[in-house]
Structure 1
Amino acid sequence: MKYKILETPDCDDAYELVHDALRKRATIVIFACCKVNYEGRALSQLNWGERIIMIKPDGAFLIHQEKKVEPVNWQPPKSKTRSYIKNDNLFLESHRRSPKELLTVEIRKIQFISYANIEDFEELEQAGYEKDMSDMIMEKPHMIEEGFTPTTREYSVEHGFIDILGKDKDNNLMVLELKARKAGVTAVKQLRRYLQDLENTDNDILRECKAQKKKIRGLLVAPSIMDDAQELLDEEGIEFVAIEPPRELKRDKKITLDAF
């Protein structure tokens, strides 16, 4: 199930939804009357009131009041969440190991609770660097490897746009996903999804590859890569190419390539 919503659920139903959502690594949103306690680098307490609670798949835990942009209480990514029932109320605990912190939310009346399995593989692009990386590679394709020939940019597939399509010196198809910052697991999953889209759709590119008995190579292009992302790349048989984005842009938006 992609998402689930319950209105004014009882404590047991709400607990089951949270338990299911945490297992599925889904994003959880709760509008409820709650009380919050924090123990860690300081101590704080927020008495009963209606608030929005959000728990993200990366472990981030946020509690929002009706005002201000920032959450009134929060725990960062990699925190661990657990839920339990006590005295007919639902409890949520978010633990952080280093530094040691504990955020406890007691919920006594839920207006609605929901979870959603969100698919979003894009990252915020700053200063146009990913487009400028693309321009740079189109101008100097040997940066990827000798014999690489780019053919198409922004090739549309079901779940988005492939940054660059091209061919290697042996005429194998190359699918490039560009990231201007250190690449994580999300970038690998995005490229994997694009490769699946390409291979599962009847198109001229795939037919040509099959007719010529050529391979489809996936390449993640970024300045560097996280360890867990490298492990997933190795599992998926996807390649990594380390390239720094252009660091300066000319006023006419052309790329400065002095560093290369």
Structure 2
Amino acid sequence: MKYKVLESPDNESSYEIVEEALRKKATIIIYACCKVIYEGRALSQLNWGERIILIKPDGSFLIHQEKKVDPVNWQPPKSRTRTFLKDDNLFLESHRRTPKEMLNVEIKKVHFINYALVEDYEELEIAGYEKDMGDMIMKKPHMIEEGFKPTVREYSTEHGFIDILGKDKDNNLMVIELKCRKAGVSAVKQLKRYLSDFEDENNELLNDTNCNKKDIRGLLVAPSIGEDAKELIEEEGIEFVAVNPPNELKSDKKVTLDFF
């Protein structure tokens, strides 16, 4: 059986369902009146109330209230869940080994419980991140300027990873920082730190690039730039290029009317 559902079960039946689901490594959903105590890096208590409890096969344990997106209490993957009955109430415990944490849920009344052997092997695809911008620029370098030649992605320096290194048509080194959203002052400062890694003409980083040592250009690439950041790049001699991130997914899978 891939799933099992019980509405308004007693606590003993709910205990059997949870035990069975844990053995099968199934996803468990419980709607119940419960009390929650957390012990770990802090100590917290959530008194009696009706909540949704979600237990996943990877060990994740989440408790949701009727409002807000985030769980009010949770344990991460690799936590271990156990269940038992005591004084006619159903108990769920989620243990995390490192750091040592425990989430204890005491259930007075289960309104609904089910489990399912969920099959989902797909990874979420999201378009519009800096990586997508980098992929796009590597394929169409003229988006930066005519004659631009990208040479290296994710170039490691003392201050982090430069998104793209390249050369302009005059063989000057170009240090490019990508932002998929409106660029702020912090992005300008980050690019300035990258440029400081090339200030010494004898620096191995500069020698690795085989570019002109005289002129090094810093380019901040983003859809738009804030006023404060705009003032700062003018002070620092940094250039700004407006580029929008791609808004299409890379998946080759297309849904047609035949699918329905």
> What's the TM-score, normalizing by structure 1?
0.50
Decide which structure has the larger Cα Rg and report it.
2
